[in-house]
């Protein structure tokens, strides 16, 4: 138990025969359940788990590889069946230092958050040991995820070291969340739709000699597609379906005016290239929609940032009362 909560560690594992034992052996005593999900590893990952014979371990092996997101979803469901109050994600390659686990858990057990995640980018020293291309990629991806998910207070979205209340997991449409590399990004979008308060926790990462198997040519298109779909899904549920918010009005009108202004500007450029003199009225027909559209989009962005669900709403586990619900989960 940790602060009165039953804690389950969900560990997605693929080709982790050499490291999975270290993950289990260094798991703190206050972790009640360790759910290992072997995502159809071709090596002896499952055998390495069984040889340790830790009574807290529940081992699940996928018959078909489902990706890290699919393994985490399977682990969440198993943890719920075991009666967990909080689920924490620990990588199977021992990159997540359990020393910082209490700081992560405290946010959801005591401080009123439904979801907490680690953030590696919290000081200049945080970049030491991280490859340069990964730093750049995380910065770009963090901004794109902020825009898509609506969690403007979070950074480092690909960091899978997270803690989440079981009652939040039960409200999530697990079958609709991405199962592969874009799992973390898509999860944030669904959490925002439910208006779950979330927070970052500064935690350094541990980098070993492992080589990433991620193929960027496949991952980047998947991420862009998932973030685009997630953005419009979030706008639809939060700002249109449940209440037609001024954010939606500003966004839609701003996009229409902006696109119209761009189209007229392109037409105007071709006219000037053909030696046709542009009149003041023609120039204004392009400039005015562009200026108005840009201003509306900026206003929509400002309101969306202000609507970030970051205020704690859940009581500590010792207090017992049910959490304060902000938005029903209908339609998901």
HEC-encoded secondary structure of 44-76: CHHHHHHHHCCCCEEEEECCCCCHHHHHHHHHH
Strand pairing report for 33-38 and 115-119:
unpaired
Tokens 């379906």: give the residue: 241
User: Which uninterrupted H or E stretch holds 38?
Assistant: strand 33-38
Residue 125 vs residue 239, higher pLDDT? 239
Using CA atoms, how far apart are residues 100 and 135, in angstroms rounded to an integer? 22
* Mean of pLDDT values over 261-265: 94
Percentage of the chain beyond pLDDT 70 is 89
Confidence bin at 327 (pLDDT 50/70/90): very low
Segment 34-68, tens digit of pLDDT: 999 999 999 999 999 999 988 999 999 999 999 99
On the 0-12 / 13-18 / 19+ scale of CB atoms within 10 A, 145 is buried
User: Does residue 14 have a pLDDT over 80?
Assistant: yes
* Structure confidence at residue 243 (pLDDT): 84
User: Does residue 328 have a pLDDT over 50?
Assistant: no
Using CA atoms, how far apart are residues 107 and 73, in angstroms rounded to an integer? 22
- Which phi and psi angles does 254 have, rounded to 5°? -65, -45
Least confident stretch, 13-17, 45-49, 129-133, 285-289: 129-133
User: Does residue 88 have a pLDDT over 80?
Assistant: yes
Cβ neighbours, 10 Å, residue 27: 18
User: Does residue 71 have a pLDDT over 90?
Assistant: yes
Domain architecture of the chain: domains with CATH: 7-239 (3.90.550.10)
String of b and e for 73-86 (b: at least 16 CB within 10 Å)?
bbbbbbbbebebbb
Tokens representing 2? 């940790």
| Helix axes of 67-81 and 183-193: crossing angle, nearest 10 degrees | 50
* Structure confidence at residue 329 (pLDDT): 38
* Structure confidence at residue 138 (pLDDT): 76
Tokens representing 293? 């559209």
* Mean of pLDDT values over 110-133: 82
Using CA atoms, how far apart are residues 34 and 18, in angstroms rounded to an integer? 18
User: Does residue 322 have a pLDDT over 50?
Assistant: no
Q: What is the dihedral of CA 202, 215, 141, 327, to 10 degrees?
A: -80
| Helix axes of 132-149 and 183-193: crossing angle, nearest 10 degrees | 30
User: Does residue 210 have a pLDDT over 80?
Assistant: no
User: Does residue 302 have a pLDDT over 90?
Assistant: yes
Using CA atoms, how far apart are residues 142 and 159, in angstroms rounded to an integer? 10
Rg (CA), the chain: 23
User: Does residue 171 have a pLDDT over 50?
Assistant: yes
Q: What is the mean pLDDT of the chain?
A: 89
Strand pairing report for 7-13 and 33-38:
parallel
**36: nearest Cα among 78, 5, 81:** 78
* Mean of pLDDT values over 214-221: 71
Residue 219 vs residue 280, higher pLDDT? 280
Using CA atoms, how far apart are residues 117 and 312, in angstroms rounded to an integer? 15
8, 84 in Cβ contact below 8 A? Answer: yes
Segment 230-258, tens digit of pLDDT: 999 999 999 999 888 999 999 999 999 99
| Helix axes of 132-149 and 216-235: crossing angle, nearest 10 degrees | 20
- Please give the order of strands across the beta sheet that includes 198-202: 57-61, 33-38, 7-13, 86-89, 162-165, 115-119, 198-202
Strand pairing report for 162-165 and 57-61:
unpaired
* Structure confidence at residue 128 (pLDDT): 66
* Structure confidence at residue 205 (pLDDT): 67
Beta partners for 170?
A: none
* Structure confidence at residue 208 (pLDDT): 54
pTM across the whole model = 0.87
């Amino acid at each position: 138990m940790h602060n009165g909560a039953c804690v389950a560690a969900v560990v997605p594992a693929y080709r982790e025969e050499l490291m999975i034992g270290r993950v289990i052996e260094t798991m703190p005593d206050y972790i009640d359940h360790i759910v290992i999900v072997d995502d159809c590893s071709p090596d002896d990952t499952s055998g390495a788990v069984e040889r340790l014979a830790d009574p807290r371990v529940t081992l699940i092996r996928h018959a078909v590889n489902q990706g890290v997101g699919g393994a985490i979803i399977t682990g969440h469901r198993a943890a719920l069946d075991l009666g967990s109050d909080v689920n924490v994600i620990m990588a199977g390659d021992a990159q997540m230092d359990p020393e910082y686990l209490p700081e992560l858990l405290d946010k959801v057990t005591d401080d009123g958050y439904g979801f907490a995640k680690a953030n590696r980018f919290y000081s200049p020293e945080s970049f030491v040991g991280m490859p340069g291309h990964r730093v750049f990629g995380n910065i770009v991806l963090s901004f794109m995820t902020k825009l898509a998910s609506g969690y403007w207070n979070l950074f480092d979205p690909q960091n899978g070291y997270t803690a989440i209340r079981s009652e939040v997991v039960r409200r999530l449409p697990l079958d609709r969340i991405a199962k592969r590399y874009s799992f973390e990004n898509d999860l944030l979008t669904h959490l925002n739709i439910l208006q779950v308060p979330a927070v970052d926790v500064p935690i350094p990462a541990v980098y070993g000699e492992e080589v990433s198997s991620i193929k960027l040519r496949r991952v980047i298109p998947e991420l862009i597609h998932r973030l685009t779909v997630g953005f419009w899904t979030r706008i639809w549920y939060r700002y249109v379906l449940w209440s037609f918010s001024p954010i939606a009005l500003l966004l839609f009108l701003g996009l229409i005016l902006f696109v119209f202004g761009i189209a007229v500007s392109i037409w105007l450029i071709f006219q000037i290239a053909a030696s046709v003199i542009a009149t003041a009225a023609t120039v204004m027909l392009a400039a005015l929609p562009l200026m108005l559209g840009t201003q509306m989009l900026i206003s929509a962005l400002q309101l969306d940032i202000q609507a970030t669900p970051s205020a704690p709403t859940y009581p500590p586990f010792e207090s017992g009362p049910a959490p304060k619900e902000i938005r029903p989960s209908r339609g998901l």
